[in-house]
Amino acid sequence: MKFPVVSAVAALTLLPCAFVRGQAPDSPPKKAPLTTRTAVDALSDAELDQVIHLLKDNYIKPDALSDGEQHRATVQGLLNRLAPGAAIIESVAGREIGASPFRSEILDNRIGYVRLGAITAGNVGELDAALGKFTASKLPALVLDLRATPAGSEFEQTADICRRFCPKGKVLFSVKKPNIKQEQILTSKDEPKYQGILVALVDRSTAGNAEVIAAVLRTHVKALVIGQQTRGEAAEFSEFPLSNGRALRVAVAEVSLPESAPVFPGGVKPDLAVEVPAETTEKVLQQELEKGVGEFVFETERPRLNEAALVAGTNPDLDAAQAAQKNRGEKPQPPLRDVVLQRAVDFITTIAIYERKPAQK
């Protein structure tokens, strides 16, 4: 059995800690710093008017408080307060929407890996084929990678993905439009196509459909979510055209899960946070498509002298030593690793160790 470069002991950080080192038991809680939003929220209507008048009468640059500037400030403030539920964006015609392919692998002959990619009929079909292969191979664990799933609000297709894993007859989530008092309830209709340990990978770019999938799987099948907090866009959006090729994007329907924390606008908070720069994640995901996933998780063995090398008259050990001597003084670049996926493998490995039955005497 191979083990990931990051030690499986790292997964033990999932265990709860009963004490906070260095904190006195009766120490008073620290007061939260005053932010602009908390200060404004604390003002009454009369105080809000007072602040505006004081600014108009006393601010050093009166032109900054003209009617036009106040309108801009109002729109800017509303967009900031409503984000991610409202934003001014490039119109659909001006945006590049790239394809995101599906990928699946079996890692170390024991873990199924699926990169869902875009939620399309073709990728859902490939998911079914992969789940059938994993079930036939009796793989005890599966990693569902949602980091490359584009944001969207195709919620019926989203429910189809969830139905592959959730028990029959469960309310998966609902889509509510409060303005017209309309609610769409989506449920699981069939028995799951895969049952086992499930881990979902997310990052800061995970939004919309993918956020809903992660939240539903955590709620209904106790999936562990690993990565970074998601964007908080689990909603249906409408776009209203403005001038200059831009549009106002507004959340018009909210996704909610039964007996679960809201996904909009706070996003999905991971059970195990792993901080990785966005550019590193993008590079890893691209190279995994080209080269496969395993080499970015498991350490490869160094070349050794073997029969083939003897026949060829080469010595891999000597070649490696000479290369190291030649590059001495140059700072070696660390190998690119998928740290988030490594932590998922760590967790699965730890669970397997704890669940292993002791040998009978």
Average pLDDT on 314-338 reads 67
Residue holding tokens 């496969």? 292
Question: What is the percent of the chain where pLDDT is above 70?
Answer: 80
pLDDT at 8: 38
Least Cα distance to 4 among 275, 345, 288 occurs for: 345
Whole-number Å distance between alpha carbons of 80 and 97: 25
pLDDT at 17: 43
Q: What is the pLDDT of residues 101-157, one digit of tens each?
A: 999 999 999 999 999 999 999 999 999 999 999 999 999 999 999 999 999 888 999
Q: Give yes or no for residue 240 having a pLDDT over 60.
A: yes
pLDDT at 26: 63
pLDDT band with cut points at 50, 70 and 90 for residue 12: very low
Q: Give yes or no for residue 206 having a pLDDT over 80.
A: yes
- Amino acid letter, 214: A
- Amino acid letter, 123: N
Average pLDDT on 160-178 reads 94
Q: What is the pLDDT of residues 131-146, one digit of tens each?
A: 999 999 999 999 999 9
**Going from the N-terminus, what domains does the chain have, and what CATH number goes with each?**
103-278 (3.90.226.10)
Global pTM reads: 0.79
| Secondary structure (H, E, C), the chain | CCCECCCHHHHHHHCCCCCCCCCCCCCCCCCCCCCHHHHHHCCCHHHHHHHHHHHHHHCCCHHHHCHHHHHHHHHHHHHHHHCCCEEEEECHHHCCCCCCCCEEEEECCCEEEEECCCCCHHHHHHHHHHHHHHHHCCCCEEEEECCCCCCCCCHHHHHHHHHCCCCCCCEEEEEEECCCCEEEEEECCCCCCCCCEEEEEECCCCCCHHHHHHHHHHHHHCCEEEECCCCCCCEEEEEEECCCCEEEEEEEEEEECCCCCCCCCCCCCCCEECCCCHHHHHHHHHHHHHHCCHHHCECCCCCCCCHHHHHHCCCHHHHHHHHHHHCCCCCCCCCCCCHHHHHHHHHHHHHHHHHCCCCCC
If you average pLDDT over every residue of the chain, what do you get? 85
pLDDT at 352: 87
CB neighbour class for 34 (10 Å; exposed up to 12, middle 13-18, buried from 19): exposed
- Range with the lowest mean pLDDT among 186-190, 194-198, 304-308? 304-308
Average pLDDT on 224-243 reads 94
Least Cα distance to 202 among 222, 225, 173 occurs for: 225
Q: What is the pLDDT of residues 269-298, one digit of tens each?
A: 999 999 999 999 999 999 999 999 999 998
